[in-house]
Amino acid sequence: MSKRNVGVLVMSYGTPESLDQVEAYYTHIRRGSPPSPEQLKELTDRYDAVVGGFFPLRENTNKQVAALQETLRQSSPDVDYRCYQGLKHASPFIEDGVRSMAADGLKEAVGIVLAPHYSVMSVGGYIKRAQEQAEAEGVKMSFVRSYHLHPKLVEALTLRVEAELRKFAEAGAPRDRVRVVFTAHSLPEKILEMRDPYPDQLLATSRAVADACGIVNWQFGWQSAGRTAMPWLGPDILDVLRTIKEERQAEYVLVCPLGFVSDHLEVLYDLDIEAKRLAEELGLSFARTASLNTDPLYMETLSDAIREADEGARQS
Ligand code: FEC
């Protein structure tokens, strides 16, 4: 019997390829409204500070998609899953990925986002665009909405927290004196009125990892809020650090950015440069857990979720 051919649209945020593409990228994020020269300079400077303007997210996404393709090949002898990239704010865009699948003759596909937690403003936006293009191309698509409590994802995060806590212990800081701060990208506060699952899903992952590590000295904090007039979800990680210091809650801080799965600007600048600098000024000892990138446990999480969505679509 011949194998079923199923497309897999792997969606990720996207990043520029060079500093002269930052303006077009930022304009796309701002839904077509170009940034002011000051805003553009501020963002370009942040990219420049991250290893001299190198854009790690692009290479990381490429590697994640290749590793996922291989994981799917090994775990699914009965189905020929074919991965395509679809980026939210850069080329190849989400629509390009769906078009490529259709051009290759695929009639059914699964979409998944390289972000474990669902918000109507994040994953919901990716899915909407993919669904619209799939309908235009005649591709039947199903989607993974979230995978924030998949046991292999929780295990991969737990191993990372444990590894950093061990380093703190070797340096003389027992684990109960280290405050673990789980973080994710902030969103406008208005998502709360929409009963968006994003905050609860993030807390659920944080709690699962904390329980697996057996730690009680932990909290959740937001990061990377947009520079807009509307209120964003807080407390921001920078305020979290100030409070930890002011209230003498801990001298050691471990940040685990579990809302992200890759090394990119929001981790390499907002945490490794901005938050670390503040922590040093405050006299706090600061560390961050390593990003998941192509961790086999993360690849298996994605592969399991894709196969489950595919099976579900066949039965419906
Ligand atoms: O490394 C890179 O080049 C890209 C890093 C990057 C990731 C990322 C992930 C998320 N974002 C989310 C929400 C928003 C909302 C706005 C917004 C704006 C920006 C800007 C940059 C940026 N984001 Fe992002 N985000 C990344 C980068 N993001 C740059 C523009 C400058 C700034 O505000 O810092 C506000 C848009 C608006 O103005 O309307 C909202 C969410 C995620 C995590 C889920 C995902 O990956 O999709 C949520 C990585």
Say if residue 127 is in the same domain as residue 164: no
Ligand 1 centre from 165 Cα, in Å?
Answer: 29
- pLDDT (mean) for 16-37: 95
What was the pLDDT predicted at 1?
A: 65
Whether pLDDT at 64 is above 90: yes
- pLDDT (mean) for 159-187: 97
CATH code assigned at 255: 3.40.50.1400
> Phi and psi at residue 288, in whole multiples of 5°?
-130, 145
Q: Which atom from ligand 1 is nearest to the alpha carbon of 224?
A: 34
Ligand 1 centre from 222 Cα, in Å?
Answer: 13
Say if residue 140 is in the same domain as residue 227: no
Whether pLDDT at 63 is above 90: yes
- pLDDT (mean) for 128-134: 98
Q: Is 202 in the pocket of ligand 1 (CB under 6 A)?
A: no
Q: Which domain holds residue 100?
A: 4-147+295-315
Say if residue 141 is in the same domain as residue 173: no
Q: Is 85 in the pocket of ligand 1 (CB under 6 A)?
A: no
> For the chain, how are helix, strand and coil distributed in percent, rounded to 5?
50, 15, 30
What was the pLDDT predicted at 227?
A: 80
DSSP secondary structure string, 158-211? HHHHHHHHHHHHHTT--GGGEEEEEEEE--BGGGGTTT-SHHHHHHHHHHHHHH
Say if residue 140 is in the same domain as residue 155: no
Instruction: Determine the residue of 10, 64, 224 to mutate for testing ligand 1's pocket, defined as the one with the most ligand atoms within 8 A of the Cβ atom.
Output: 224
- Structure letter (DSSP) for residue 11: E
Q: Cis (ω within 30 of 0) for the bond into 235?
A: yes
What strands, in cross-sheet order, belong to the sheet with 108-113? 79-87, 4-12, 108-113, 140-143
Say if residue 78 is in the same domain as residue 143: yes
What was the pLDDT predicted at 229?
A: 87
Residue located nearest, by CA, to atom 46 of ligand 1: 13
Instruction: Determine the residue of 22, 29, 114, 270 to mutate for testing ligand 1's pocket, defined as the one with the most ligand atoms within 8 A of the Cβ atom.
Output: 29
Please give the Cα distance from 13 to 101 (Å, whole number): 19
Residue located nearest, by CA, to atom 8 of ligand 1: 13
- pLDDT (mean) for 116-134: 98
Say if residue 212 is in the same domain as residue 308: no
Closest CA relative to residue 161, chosen from 127, 205, 131, 130: 205
Q: Is 69 in the pocket of ligand 1 (CB under 6 A)?
A: no
Instruction: Determine the residue of 13, 23, 205, 262 to mutate for testing ligand 1's pocket, defined as the one with the most ligand atoms within 8 A of the Cβ atom.
Output: 13
Residue located nearest, by CA, to atom 33 of ligand 1: 226
Ligand 1 centre from 71 Cα, in Å?
Answer: 28
Q: Is 0.85 surpassed by the pTM of this model?
A: yes
**Beta-bridge partners for 10:** 85, 112
Percent of the chain residues topping a pLDDT of 90: 94
**CB contact at 8 A, 213 and 251:** no
- pLDDT (mean) for 67-71: 98
pLDDT (tens digit per residue) in 189-230 = 999 999 999 999 999 999 999 999 999 999 999 999 998 889
Number of C-beta neighbours around residue 128 at 10 A: 12
Q: Is 15 in the pocket of ligand 1 (CB under 6 A)?
A: yes
Say if residue 200 is in the same domain as residue 247: yes
Ligand 1 centre from 141 Cα, in Å?
Answer: 25
- pLDDT (mean) for 29-45: 95
* 41-77 exposure pattern, b = at least 16 Cβ within 10 A, e = fewer: eebbebbeebeeeebbbbebbeebbebbbebbeeebe
What was the pLDDT predicted at 228?
A: 84
Model confidence band, residue 240 (pLDDT cutoffs 50, 70, 90): very high
What is the rounded average pLDDT for all residues in the chain?
Answer: 96
**CB contact at 8 A, 155 and 297:** yes
Say if residue 118 is in the same domain as residue 135: yes
DSSP H/E element including 254:
strand 252-256
- Structure letter (DSSP) for residue 51: G
**CB contact at 8 A, 29 and 121:** no
Overall domain count for the chain: 2
**Beta-bridge partners for 288:** 255
What was the pLDDT predicted at 316?
A: 80
Say if residue 71 is in the same domain as residue 155: no
Please give the Cα distance from 134 to 153 (Å, whole number): 29
Say if residue 47 is in the same domain as residue 172: no
Say if residue 133 is in the same domain as residue 190: no
Q: Is 99 in the pocket of ligand 1 (CB under 6 A)?
A: no
**Beta-bridge partners for 86:** 11
Ligand 1 centre from 172 Cα, in Å?
Answer: 37
Q: Is 120 in the pocket of ligand 1 (CB under 6 A)?
A: no
Q: Is 226 in the pocket of ligand 1 (CB under 6 A)?
A: yes
- pLDDT (mean) for 36-45: 95
Q: Is 228 in the pocket of ligand 1 (CB under 6 A)?
A: yes
- pLDDT (mean) for 5-24: 96
What was the pLDDT predicted at 114?
A: 98
Say if residue 273 is in the same domain as residue 303: no
